[in-house]
């Protein structure tokens, strides 16, 4: 039965073209920002803004290329994961709750939908704080992180 459910879920994702709209919950923690630029330009602008803010850039993972290189027969639309962060800030979350390390460093997904629109997608930091039960003094760093990611994605946001 689980295999049957998994196959149905995969079929739904393929038919929908993107997981967020098809499977979104009212409070799923996902923030989607529509870009005014192509995928390549969006990635370049985001990386430039991350670097300009003095944030450490860790990796760029081209998920569509990984799928193609692995011989996956179903084509994957452009999908690139950017991984970056501020270790002193991220360490505050991990020291407060070691399991919070699952959400650090920051990940920002740049993807194209079935209509060719480009989206920058990330997990809301307030949602992450609630997920890990962090409140009070620990909320300050999450608000800081929220402001930074909003600023980064505003560099590509369609008006």
The predicted-structure confidence for 78-131, as pLDDT tens digits, reads as follows 999 999 999 888 887 787 788 888 988 999 999 999 999 999 999 998 888 888
What pLDDT shows up at residue 139?
67
Of 8-22, 48-62, 84-98, the least confident: 8-22
Which residues are CB-contacts of 154 (< 8 A; sequence separation ≥ 6)? 33
What pLDDT shows up at residue 12?
30
Mean pLDDT of 131-153: 82
Higher pLDDT, 6 or 116: 116
Measured at the CA of 83, the angle between CA 132 and CA 137, to 5 degrees, comes to 30
Its sign, for the CA torsion 20, 23, 24, 28, is: negative
Q: Burial, 97: exposed, middle or buried (Cβ in 10 Å; 0-12, 13-18, 19+)? A: middle
Structural domain boundaries in the chain:
22-154
Its sign, for the CA torsion 156, 58, 108, 13, is: positive
- The number of beta carbons lying within 10 Å of the beta carbon of residue 12 is 12
What pLDDT shows up at residue 131?
86
CATH number at 22-154: 3.30.310.70
């Amino acid at each position: 039965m689980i295999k049957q459910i998994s196959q149905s879920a995969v079929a739904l994702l393929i038919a929908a073209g993107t997981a967020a709209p098809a499977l979104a919950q009212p409070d799923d923690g996902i923030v989607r920002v529509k870009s005014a630029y192509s995928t390549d330009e969006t990635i370049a602008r985001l990386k430039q803004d991350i670097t300009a803010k003095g944030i450490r850039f860790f990796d760029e993972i081209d998920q569509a290329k990984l799928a193609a290189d692995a011989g996956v027969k179903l084509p994957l639309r452009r999908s690139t994961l950017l991984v970056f962060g501020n270790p002193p800030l991220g360490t505050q979350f991990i020291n407060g709750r070691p399991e919070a390390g699952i959400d650090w460093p920051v990940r920002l997904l740049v993807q194209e939908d079935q209509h060719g629109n480009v989206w920058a997608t990330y997990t809301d930091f307030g949602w992450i704080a609630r997920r890990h039960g962090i409140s009070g003094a620990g909320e300050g760093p999450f608000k800081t992180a929220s402001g930074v990611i909003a600023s980064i994605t505003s560099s590509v946001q369609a008006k």
